[in-house]
């Protein structure tokens, strides 16, 4: 089968189109014929080698986590899916930039019937990130106020919609060019990050979803009311995260040092800080699928590239200019 792989890590390293064997499946896995895959900043960071200590993958590596397609084979212990099912998933291990991928059945959900394969592939990582931040970690409630950074991005566009579905008041940052988009998704307060400082506008928020740099994170702590929460998907990682993924005591110590400053600032302000690294979860993805089918959430796609344009698509994501998601049409 055809796949796009990396043989070495590097920010400017291109992915190479190669011919490799179709994956074999374990008893609890399904083989999915890939129809579409989407590109996330995670793929860019894995390619650059930024996560090689946390995720020591064997090279050469097929990139890509988000996938939609059709089940073509199922392992002996698979009892929730069958050949012919249309599915979507955030795979626990990369491999979506290929014609076939093996995925554990616990990470898969049936594709919502009212969206295309390209739209389905745009959802898993960003939707699960937001679900785990708002529903699992923060337990966001109706009437609360949430600040979502970069509202026109892949995570931001879904975060605004889920927060509004829950009944929260939403503030977000974006450019003037994307203000109409975030307002159409439900944002109540729209801040132009180029000319306005959110710290001078927002006050007493219950929750911040941080996806930006360290300076923005520190400012975010100061706009949260005492007892509120800041959840970061861009770091620094905290000790709880290190324990959850089973890192060695050396790595836990290192992470403790990396997060010491922000943890001290949060404690002084009586704000709960935590780091979120999204985990694959088919059950949660099924719940997201129900919201898609009810019309409560819609995937937002910027561009669809052909499979042969994978390198161009990666560069576009790396540029940070995408509004919503960037998708590869594989089949």
Strand pairing of 2-6 and 16-19?
antiparallel
Do 119 and 141 lie in a common domain?
Answer: no
Can you tell me which residue has the tokens 């990130």?
129
Please state the φ and ψ torsions of residue 59, each to the nearest 5 degrees.
Answer: -95, 150
The rounded distance, in Å, linking the Cα atoms of 24 and 68 is: 18
Would 288 be classed as within a structural domain? Answer: no
The rounded distance, in Å, linking the Cα atoms of 40 and 143 is: 31
Residue 161 CA from chain centroid, whole number: 15
Would 226 be classed as within a structural domain? Answer: yes
CATH number of 181's domain: 3.40.50.720
Do 7 and 62 lie in a common domain?
Answer: yes
Would 147 be classed as within a structural domain? Answer: yes
Contacts 24+ apart (CB under 8 A), 186-189: 186/160, 186/161, 187/148, 187/151, 187/160
Do 210 and 95 lie in a common domain?
Answer: no
Do 254 and 131 lie in a common domain?
Answer: yes
Do 115 and 7 lie in a common domain?
Answer: yes
Instruction: Tell me the pLDDT of the chain (331 aa) as tens digits.
Output: 999 999 999 988 899 999 999 999 999 999 999 999 999 999 999 999 988 877 789 999 999 999 999 999 999 999 999 999 999 999 999 999 999 999 999 999 999 999 999 999 999 999 999 999 999 999 999 999 999 999 999 999 999 999 999 999 999 999 999 999 999 999 999 999 999 999 999 999 999 999 999 999 999 999 999 999 999 999 898 888 878 777 788 888 888 888 899 999 999 999 999 999 999 999 999 999 999 999 999 999 999 999 999 999 999 999 988 999 999 999 9
Do 192 and 270 lie in a common domain?
Answer: yes
Do 130 and 261 lie in a common domain?
Answer: yes
Would 280 be classed as within a structural domain? Answer: no
Count how many domains the chain has: 2
3-class state of residue 265 by DSSP? helix
- Positive or negative CA dihedral for 294, 42, 250, 210? negative
The rounded distance, in Å, linking the Cα atoms of 63 and 169 is: 36
Do 37 and 52 lie in a common domain?
Answer: yes
Contacts 24+ apart (CB under 8 A), 78-82: 78/27, 78/28, 78/29, 78/30, 78/105, 79/105, 80/105, 80/108, 81/30, 81/105, 81/108, 81/110
The rounded distance, in Å, linking the Cα atoms of 137 and 24 is: 35
Would 292 be classed as within a structural domain? Answer: no
Would 25 be classed as within a structural domain? Answer: yes
Do 84 and 159 lie in a common domain?
Answer: no
Do 42 and 56 lie in a common domain?
Answer: yes
Would 258 be classed as within a structural domain? Answer: yes
Question: Could you tell me the residue range of the domain that residue 217 belongs to?
Answer: 126-275
Which contiguous run of DSSP H or E holds residue 279? none
CATH number of 61's domain: 3.90.180.10
Do 242 and 314 lie in a common domain?
Answer: no
The rounded distance, in Å, linking the Cα atoms of 29 and 145 is: 40
CA angle 281, 258, 226 (to 5 degrees): 75
Do 31 and 153 lie in a common domain?
Answer: no
DSSP-H helix ranges across 108-200: 117-121, 124-131, 154-166, 179-185
Would 283 be classed as within a structural domain? Answer: no
């Amino acid at each position: 089968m055809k796949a796009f792989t990396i043989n070495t890590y590097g920010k400017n390293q291109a992915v190479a189109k190669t011919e490799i064997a179709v994956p074999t499946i374990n008893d609890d896995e399904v083989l999915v014929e890939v129809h579409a895959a989407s590109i996330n900043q995670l793929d860019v960071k894995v390619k650059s080698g930024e996560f090689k200590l946390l995720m020591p993958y064997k090279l050469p590596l097929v990139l890509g986590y988000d996938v939609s397609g059709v089940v073509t084979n199922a392992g002996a212990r698979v009892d929730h899916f069958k050949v012919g099912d249309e599915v979507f998933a955030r795979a626990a291990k990369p491999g979506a930039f290929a014609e076939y991928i093996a995925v554990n059945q616990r990470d898969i959900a049936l594709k919502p019937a009212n969206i295309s394969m390209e739209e389905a592939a745009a959802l898993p990582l960003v939707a699960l990130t937001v679900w785990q931040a708002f529903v699992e970690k923060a337990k966001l409630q109706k009437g609360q106020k949430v600040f979502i950074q970069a509202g026109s991005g892949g995570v931001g566009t879904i975060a605004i919609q889920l927060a509004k579905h829950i009944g929260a008041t939403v503030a977000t940052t974006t450019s003037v060019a994307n203000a109409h988009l975030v307002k159409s998704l439900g944002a109540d307060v729209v801040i132009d990050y180029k000319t306005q400082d959110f710290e001078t506008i927002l006050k007493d928020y219950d929750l911040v979803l941080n996806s930006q740099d360290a300076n923005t994170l520190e400012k975010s702590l100061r706009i949260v009311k005492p007892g509120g929460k800041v959840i970061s998907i861009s770091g620094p990682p905290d000790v709880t995260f290190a324990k959850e993924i089973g890192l060695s005591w050396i790595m836990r110590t290192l992470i403790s040092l990396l997060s010491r400053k922000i943890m001290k600032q949060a404690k002084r302000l009586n704000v709960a800080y935590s780091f979120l690294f999204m985990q694959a979860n088919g059950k949660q993805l099924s719940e997201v699928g129900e919201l898609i089918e009810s019309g409560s959430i819609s995937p937002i796609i910027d561009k669809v590239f052909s499979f042969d344009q994978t390198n161009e698509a990666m560069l576009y994501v790396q540029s940070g200019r995408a509004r919503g998601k960037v998708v590869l049409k594989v089949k």
